[in-house]
C-alpha cells in the first residue's frame, strides 16, 4: 500500500479570481498570485512538494464543511490562512492557522523582497 500524500503546509486562499478561472490557473499552476507566493516560499526554503493549496470559499471545494476532518486525513499539516477574509472565517470555526497577507495584495507588500520577508517572519520557527 502506498503512503498517502501528506503535505507539511496547507495554504488556504479565498477563491479563484475571475481572471484565474478564465485562464484555467490554479495555485498549483504557479501563475498570477501563486507566483508571488511560490517565489517567496522557494526563497524561504519551502519546497512546492511540501505544500498543498485550497480555497475556503470555493463552491466546488469538496472539503467545504469538513475542513477539520480533511486536515486530519492530510496528516495535520500546518494551516496557513491567506488574507483577512479566510482568517476571519477560520477564527469563526475555531481553526488554528498561521496568518499571512494574501499574495495578490496591493501596495508596498507587493514588492517581491517585502513579501518574501513577510513570509519568512510569519513562518518563523517552522522553517528547517
pLDDT in tens, 116-127: 999 999 998 876
Q: Is domain 9-122 annotated with CATH 3.40.470.10? A: yes
Grid coordinates belonging to 95: 481553526
pLDDT in tens, 64-114: 567 778 788 888 999 999 999 999 999 988 889 999 999 999 999 999 999
**Cβ atoms of 13 and 27 closer than 8 Å:** yes
Order the strands of the 9-13 sheet from edge to edge: 51-55, 9-13, 78-82, 98-100
**Cβ atoms of 76 and 68 closer than 8 Å:** no
- Of 82, 115, 126, the closest CA to residue 100 belongs to 82
Mean per-residue pLDDT over the chain, rounded: 87
Where along the chain do its domains lie? 9-122
Tell me what pLDDT residue 65 has.
62
Residue 58, pLDDT above cutoff 50: yes
- Helix (H) or strand (E) segment spanning residue 41: helix 33-43
Q: pLDDT > 70: what percent of the chain?
A: 90
Amino acid at each position: 500500500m502506498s503512503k498517502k500524500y501528506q503535505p507539511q503546509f496547507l495554504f488556504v486562499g479565498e477563491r479563484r479570481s475571475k481572471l484565474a478561472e478564465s485562464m484555467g490557473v490554479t495555485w498549483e499552476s504557479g501563475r498570477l498570485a501563486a507566483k508571488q507566493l511560490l517565489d517567496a516560499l522557494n526563497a524561504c526554503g519551502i519546497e512546492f512538494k511540501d505544500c498543498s493549496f485550497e480555497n475556503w470559499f470555493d463552491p466546488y471545494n469538496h472539503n467545504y464543511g469538513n475542513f477539520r476532518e480533511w486536515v486530519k486525513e492530510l496528516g495535520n499539516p500546518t494551516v496557513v490562512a491567506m488574507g483577512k477574509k479566510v482568517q476571519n472565517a477560520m477564527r469563526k470555526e475555531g481553526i488554528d492557522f498561521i496568518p499571512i497577507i494574501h499574495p495578490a495584495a496591493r501596495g508596498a507588500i507587493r514588492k517581491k523582497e517585502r513579501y518574501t520577508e513577510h513570509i519568512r517572519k510569519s513562518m518563523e520557527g517552522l522553517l528547517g
